[in-house]
A = this chain, B = another copy of it.
């Protein structure tokens, strides 16, 4: 089972920028839309049933994408419609949709574009991914809240300050990791965080920690997985003499660097690149690969099955 019905995001949480902070960017006023993600066994009549349900309630469909996995006989769908003239009040959706969902044994999730998911960012010393996420958030590209940035170092405090966002330093020592994670979890809970982004966070999270946020922790790994999983991928890429370096964003599971891949990209290198050059050129990849994953997650474009992702972009 992939998707479970989630408490609906009805209440808007529009926290404005504090005075004296950077402007909130060029966010155009967006139409409010609803996004329904569905995953169920494939069978005839499925599309007709869903389309009829939406039509009965007067939905004006803006986007619809579907995918069938022939081997697993699985049906996956993302459909987005305007809320303006939708005939079904959001609190009643669950009840109204239930018969259909049961008949086709659907896992489903509804989200509203007006809701800005609450994202926590974990970071260590490398700050390029953090700087990139904060800029994209500020410019309106990432439609989310950032209630908290957590780091095991103090180096990136200045960036959080520059963007007027809360920063919490939690020291992590190998002997006190469990305690540190307890503090982190308390903080995440306090801030009602929906999902986490590890923006080059250099600590391995414990399975216990991960279980609190199943498929809701996004990591960026600085290689083209499954090549060079684990530590020091640029050094190993250099040694192996590869002609392209890569970056991979994925959901974190209990097996290191093995979770479902969300996005990957590569860039060309040559013998003229020293390790420092790989690291610098790779940083540009990491930024775009991570930010795409975060954006797709926020916009409910990702469906999961068989330790893989379907991205309806």
A164 CB to nearest B CB, Å: 10
Per-position binary interface string of chain A over residues 297-313, scored 1 when its CB falls under 8 Å from any chain B CB and 0 otherwise: 00000000011111101
The winner among A47, A67, A272 for most chain B CB atoms within 10 A is A47
Within 8 A of B (CB), among A35-66: 44-45, 47-48, 51-52, 54-55, 58-66
Residues of B near A280 (CB, < 8 A) are 141
Contact of A266 with B by CB under 8 A:
yes
* Contact status B266-A266, CB under 8 Å: yes
How many copies altogether? 4
Residues of B near A308 (CB, < 8 A) are 240-241, 271
**Cβ contacts A to B, 13 pairs, < 8 Å:** A23-B155, A65-B65, A67-B271, A141-B280, A162-B163, A224-B266, A225-B242, A241-B260, A241-B306, A241-B309, A243-B264, A271-B310, A271-B311
A residues with CB within 8 A of B: 21-23, 28, 44-45, 47-48, 51-52, 54-55, 58-68, 70, 127-128, 131, 135, 139, 141, 155, 158-159, 162-163, 224-228, 240-244, 246, 260-261, 263-266, 268, 270-272, 274, 276, 280, 284, 288, 306-311, 313
